[in-house]
């Protein structure tokens, strides 16, 4: 500093405040709403949101906000959350960890004490009282693909651009530590005239061509090849390539539970959900009987594979990933699937492709009885008649995540689940974020329907976000599966244990509790198949806007067969001991 002039910034061509720079970059990435909670270390920064064209959501707690930013990112492509130092960011960390686990890009901005306070080691509130201001950033480093500490104005603009690019390209959270005395510091605003380059780095041409040649060698030789599409095909933006490959080759295609919604399920080549021993027999037979399974973006977790019950040989497998490819037992680090898929599409010799038809799944006929209870099997086999093209469908960890396997989606349905991280309560926040992303894109009148299937036990963890849905006039249909507790836990251990029970709530009264009038929300109850069928056919229920809240009663010990198979495998694995 010389004569009151900061020589580090005096030569800037177009000086802008750091907060304005950061939020303008978020807007350029397509973000329109920012989740989070105010705290004294982020308040001044929040004043800059409107100028950048960003809307502040204002969640009920930071964990819910992280879940909501996750749901927003899955629909929008990227999301953002702002918390305050220590108490706020640690409340959000479970949700951010889930996003890291499931490859969801979230920009986590943490307002923190000034650089002066940090250097002085002051005993400030929201700290551990030991003068260590990096403790929380260190905690987040393991669940972030980049950490940026905005301490030096001469470096801040480049730090921001780098972090945001990493967030998008790796499809994982980044952590930005934003001191209070940096909010109004100046950085070069001229940089904003050039948007961040989000193009995926090209593969080395020779290495890519070699992998393509090897893939084509086995594909052309295969007698019964199939495609298996998983979550990372969605997260790493290769669905256009996947669909082009299906259209060109006519290969049968299957999805995993985490990949549900990746493929147009009305396409004649779509075969259904493959999850090892929990798959339908015809699906299991075709996938496991294939002599070449091309797996795209796989995440072979326990719940995604029904307890690691895949029966696929590596000798007949090709695994394409965002940062490497595996052909049989040969691994090719740094060769990304996007470039490989595009060249396979361009170079495949159709005269050498043997494409079998996808299996046709016949659903068991369940006798219609209007007075019968709503069973899991009946519900998931019928709910697809209620779904519409372009819906967003969110399923909670538990019966909904497993039951939805049997539901065939109309075209262009976006499906959200958290099968790998599996934090119960996630879906309520994610539903709010997903619905808001659609509203941001299309406006309140044309926003997509967002339909949430939520367990009663899970709802009790994050129920407050219903008030955020109401506050922002979101177009949400929420089915609460009322079955007296944690069904998935019961099937793993403790069917009759008290710890798997929950308090009985008056669920249909919740919209009123959270401030909704009848125009903003309406509640319904369905205890029999006849009542539910009548509701699903009701024109007002289908067409009205705002929140529709449905109490849906199912038997306590009923569960989808796929959940039972997976829970049994989980229980056995939990009981394993070393010999």
- The catalytic site residues sit at 40, 62, 125-126, 422, 456, 483, 485, 489
Residue 516: name the closest of 551, 474, 481, 482 by CA: 474
Helix (H) / strand (E) containing 454: strand 450-455
CA-CA-CA-CA dihedral for 314, 315, 316, 320, to nearest 10: 50
CA–CA distance from 386 to each of 57, 311, 479, 543 (Å)? 30, 34, 13, 12
SS3 303: coil
CB atoms inside a 10 Å sphere around CB 211? 26
CA–CA distance from 262 to each of 15, 167, 421, 557 (Å)? 44, 21, 19, 31
DSSP assignment string, 239-292: HHHHHHHHHHH---EEE-STTTTSS-TTSTTEEEE--GGGS-HHHHHHHHT-SE
Beta bridge partners of 108: 81, 175
Q: Are 332 and 207 in contact (CB under 8 A)?
A: yes
Q: How far apart are CA 488 and CA 503, in angstroms?
A: 17
CB atoms inside a 10 Å sphere around CB 401? 26
DSSP assignment string, 173-202: -EEEEEEGGGTT-EEEGGGGGS----PPPP
CA–CA distance from 217 to each of 204, 214, 292, 352 (Å)? 20, 5, 11, 10
Please list the alpha-helical segments (H only) found in 133-187.
135-141, 153-170
Q: Work out the widest C-alpha separation in the chain, in whole angstroms.
A: 87
């Amino acid at each position: 500093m010389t004569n009151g002039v900061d020589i580090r910034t005096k030569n800037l061509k177009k000086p802008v405040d750091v907060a304005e720079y950061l939020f303008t970059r978020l807007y350029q990435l397509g973000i329109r709403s920012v989740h989070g909670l105010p705290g004294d270390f982020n308040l001044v920064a929040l004043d800059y949101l409107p100028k950048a064209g960003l809307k502040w959501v204002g969640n009920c707690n930071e964990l819910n906000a992280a879940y909501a930013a996750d749901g927003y990112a899955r629909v929008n492509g990227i999301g953002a959350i702002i918390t305050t130092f220590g108490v706020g960011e640690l409340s959000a960390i479970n949700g951010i960890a889930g996003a890291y686990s499931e490859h969801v890009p979230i920009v986590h901005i943490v307002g923190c004490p000034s650089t002066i306070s940090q250097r002085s080691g002051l005993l400030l509130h929201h700290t551990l009282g030991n003068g260590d201001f990096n403790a929380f950033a260190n905690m987040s480093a393991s669940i972030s693909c980049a950490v940026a500490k905005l301490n030096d104005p001469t470096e801040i603009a480049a730090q921001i651009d780098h972090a945001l690019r990493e967030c998008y390209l790796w499809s994982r959270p980044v952590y930005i530590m934003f001191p209070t005395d940096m909010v109004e510091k100046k950085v070069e605003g001229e940089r904003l005239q050039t948007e961040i380059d989000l193009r995926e780095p090209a593969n080395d041409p020779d290495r890519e061509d070699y992998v393509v040649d090897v893939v084509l060698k086995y594909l052309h030789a295969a007698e019964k090849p199939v495609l298996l599409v998983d979550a990372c095909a969605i997260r790493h933006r290769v669905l256009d390539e996947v669909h082009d490959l299906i259209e060109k080759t006519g290969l049968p295609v299957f999805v995993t539970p985490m990949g549900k919604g990746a493929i147009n399920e009305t396409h004649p080549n779509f075969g259904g959900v493959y999850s090892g021993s929990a798959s339908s027999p015809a699906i299991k037979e075709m996938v496991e009987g294939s002599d070449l399974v091309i797996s795209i973006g796989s995440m072979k977790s326990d719940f995604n594979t029904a307890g690691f019950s895949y029966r696929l040989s590596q000798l007949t497998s090709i695994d394409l990933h965002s940062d490497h490819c595996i052909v049989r037992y040969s691994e090719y680090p740094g060769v990304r699937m996007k470039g490989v898929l595009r060249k396979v599409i361009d170079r495949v010799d159709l005269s050498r492709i043997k494409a079998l038809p996808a299996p046709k799944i016949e659903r068991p006929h369940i006798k219609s009885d209007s007075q019968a209870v709503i069973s899991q099997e009946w519900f998931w086999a019928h709910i697809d008649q209620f779904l519409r093209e372009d819906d967003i469908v969110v399923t909670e960890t538990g019966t909904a995540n497993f039951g939805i396997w049997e539901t065939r989606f109309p075209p262009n349905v976006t499906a959200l689940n958290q099968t790998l991280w599996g934090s119960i309560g996630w879906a309520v926040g994610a539903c709010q974020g997903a619905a808001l992303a659609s509203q941001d894109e299309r406006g309140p009148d044309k926003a997509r329907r967002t339909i949430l299937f939520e367990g009663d036990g899970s709802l009790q963890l994050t129920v407050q976000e219903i008030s955020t849905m109401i506050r922002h006039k979101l177009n949400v249909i929420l089915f609460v599966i009322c079955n007296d507790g944690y069904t998935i836990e019961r099937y793993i251990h403790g069917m009759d244990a008290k710890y798997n029970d929950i308090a009985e709530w008056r669920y249909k009264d919740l919209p009123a509790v959270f401030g909704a009038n009848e125009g903003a929300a309406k509640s319904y109850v369905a205890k029999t198949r006849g009542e539910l069928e009548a509701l699903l056919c009701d024109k007002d229920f289908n067409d009205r806007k705002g929140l529709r809240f449905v109490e849906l009663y199912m038997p306590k010990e009923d569960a989808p067969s796929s959940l039972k198979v997976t829970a049994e495998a989980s229980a056995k694995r939990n009981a394993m001991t070393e010999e």
